[in-house]
Amino acid sequence: MTTFVLVHGAWHGAWCWQPLVDSLGRVGAVSEAPDLPGHGDDQTPIDQLTLADYADAVAAVLRSADEPVVLVGHSLGGLVISEAAERVPEKVSTLVYLCALMLSDGESPFDVMGSDPEAELLTSVVPSSDGLAITVDPAAVAGLFYADCQPPVQAWATARLAAEPIGPPMTPVHVTATRWGSLPRSYIVCTQDRAISPDQQQAMIDRTGVDSVVRIDASHSPFLSKPDDLASALIDIANRGSGM
């Protein structure tokens, strides 16, 4: 049976995946959504957290799996799944980038986001007074992340966001052709996304290459706004990868 490991993006936690976990469960799929260090229920202090810390945490989850998993990364979580897959490619059957940062070796998130004139995220980021973390302007959150969600969902999710350590978004990814590059990759484009524009998502697809592309008419968080559609897309990707 296919297992999905779901890796959240910046400011979020495992909590954001719950509607998708429920949707996958209703069709008999198994999923696991870990908190990255310093996020959700994980109380690790964020002041010195690194991309390596994130990747090591996900790699530990993968090592505990009985069989290779479908590894899904959202937004900044794309960077994390790339690094985790580089560590333990034998534990990954397919990589899925959900409106995520799918970068080539040596690229950093700020390299890519800075070249995306349509994205609104960078202009909405607020650094902490000590320069160790970043948050998002509360007035911009709903439009950036949850534009197609109902207002109660927008309020629920916005209230749960946490500060993001500055290190991971500034760090270039390190991946190799023989490990990360050997794995099947799929990309799910969210066509209403205002955090990472659809054009930038397509540019990453064109530059890095994938085995399949799925488009969902959703904003940046389809796991909240369209979990059933997203579950169906993920199962189709998994079945395609297994030859079913």
User: Distance (Å, rounded) from C-alpha 86 to C-alpha 80?
Assistant: 10
Whole-number CA gyration radius for the chain: 16
Helix H or strand E segment including 185:
strand 185-190
State the CB neighbour count (10 A cutoff) for residue 122. Answer: 12
Nearest partner of 113 among 195, 10, 9, 11, judged by Cα: 195
First to last CA, the chain: 12
- The 10 Å Cβ neighbour count of residue 120 is 15
User: Closest Cα partner for 99 from 17, 193, 33?
Assistant: 193
Check 35, 53, 116, 193 and give the catalytic one: 193
As given in the structure block, the two tokens for residue 61 are 């989850």
Per the annotation, the verdict on 116 as an active-site residue is: no
Query: How many degrees, rounded to 5, is the angle at CA 7 between CA 75 and CA 197?
Result: 10
> Of 12, 35, 39, 75, which residue is the catalytic one?
75
Give yes or no: 75 in active site.
Answer: yes
Q: Is 39 a catalytic residue?
A: no
Question: Of these residues, 39, 220, 221, 225, which one is catalytic?
Answer: 220
Q: Which residues does the annotation mark as catalytic?
A: 75, 193, 220
